[in-house]
Amino acid sequence: MKAVMVGATRGMGRALARLLAGRGDALALLGRDPNELLTSSRDLVARGASGPVPTGHLDLAEPAGFEAALDAADRALGSFDALIVTGGDFAPQETLERDTARLARLLEVNFTGTVVLCQQTAERLARRGGGTICAFSSVAGDRARRGNYLYGASKAGLSAYLDGLGLAYADRGVRVVSVRPGFVKTAMTVGLPVPPFAGEPESVARVVLRALDRGKPVVYAPPIWRWVMLVIRLLPRAVMRRARF
């Protein structure tokens, strides 16, 4: 696989990049912080990535730069065949309720920017015969909750988009993998109460890698979240309200 990764410098993205590097895949990293990208690049080369791991600037809140970043990755890898977007934004509900600028950025990163990047890549891959797009959504997008409905709305929109993208481009050879993690112990969740079934980045990465290889359209990680969310989606609204869920 020749994969372009957005968000591979930390958490689940870094764990997944290390697995890909360990089996000799070719990787290119896109992100905002050049120092973090360079550090991750060196780490992945040491872990067995095929050839150098080029890096480039990409901010999911700045769609104007996406095509140039993808062009550069194409040149560096010799035509990539996969895009993996693990990058995203998160903030507590209370912060998003009182800070509209912060809310706007989260929506831009998690939905608008990610959708534009995946759409541009889908067209690129379809023109050359196919490939894979994998993006991280969240179980928070499966059912609105009072405690995280703003973040959840951004992921609900992304999940719906990825489902549709997979249907629309299947005949053109583009496979779409929508990843829906539950709570995972990363830097993004430091300080938050740890719920049952919380996952580790490495175990989540292994689940995602299997889904990538099989072209699975939707994957929950850890897998138990598929059944947890099935129950939560079936809860009547009145129960959700009374339980203050």
List, by residue number, the catalytic residues: 151
Question: Which of helix, strand or coil describes residue 159?
Answer: helix
Q: How far apart are CA 97 and CA 160, in angstroms?
A: 24
Q: Say how many CA atoms lie within 13 Å of 185 toward its Cβ.
A: 10
Distance of alpha carbon 241 from the chain centroid: 30
With b for 16 or more beta-carbon neighbours within 10 A and e for fewer, the 60-85 pattern comes to: beebeebeebbebbbebbeebbbbbb
Q: Per the structure block, which two tokens stand in for 105?
A: 């950025």
Question: Which of helix, strand or coil describes residue 194?
Answer: coil
Q: How far apart are CA 148 and CA 158, in angstroms?
A: 16
Neighbours of 122 (CB within 10 A): 20
Find the Cα–Cα–Cα–Cα dihedral 181, 106, 29, 69, rounded to 10°. Answer: 140
